[in-house]
Amino acid sequence: MELNDTDCPVTATIALFGGRWKLPILYILSKNTRRFGEIQVRVPSISKKVLTNQLRELEADGLISRKQYKELPPRVEYTLTEFGKTLCPLLINIAAWQRQSMDMLNKANNSL
């Protein structure tokens, strides 16, 4: 991905992990190295095709790394890169914000 100096920093950041699935995938990988199936179990509504595409994009953007072992059957593991690990404080804050604001969100939804 190419970023321009004139891009809004928020827009440029969202371009890295925007979309429905990238943040959950990054959050899952922030806890531990995972195999494809382990990620899919933790994001059950994602299809294999979409998960594969999201993992490829995250890898291409340098946020995760993919390690394939020469075994039968093949084993592939995904982990955050050093660059990806710089997102961990943000992911922790997003998770904390969600937990702390659950009551507020429930009240807002009930008032609609």
Mean pLDDT lowest for which of 3-7, 52-56, 75-79? Answer: 3-7
Query: Would 81 be classed as within a structural domain?
Result: yes
pLDDT band at 54 (very low <50, low <70, confident <90, very high): very high
CATH of the domain at 52: 1.10.10.10
Alpha carbons 4 and 44: distance in angstroms, whole number: 35
Alpha carbons 88 and 108: distance in angstroms, whole number: 29
The pLDDT value given to residue 5: 53
Query: Would 3 be classed as within a structural domain?
Result: no
List phi, psi (to 5°) of 80. -70, 140
Number of structural domains found in the chain: 1
pTM (predicted TM-score): 0.81
The pLDDT value given to residue 96: 87
Alpha carbons 10 and 112: distance in angstroms, whole number: 30
DSSP summary character for residue 112 = -
Mean pLDDT of the chain, nearest integer: 88
Query: Would 2 be classed as within a structural domain?
Result: no
Average pLDDT over residues 58-74: 94
Query: Would 21 be classed as within a structural domain?
Result: yes
Instruction: Residue 42: give the domain boundaries.
Output: 9-110
Alpha carbons 73 and 92: distance in angstroms, whole number: 35
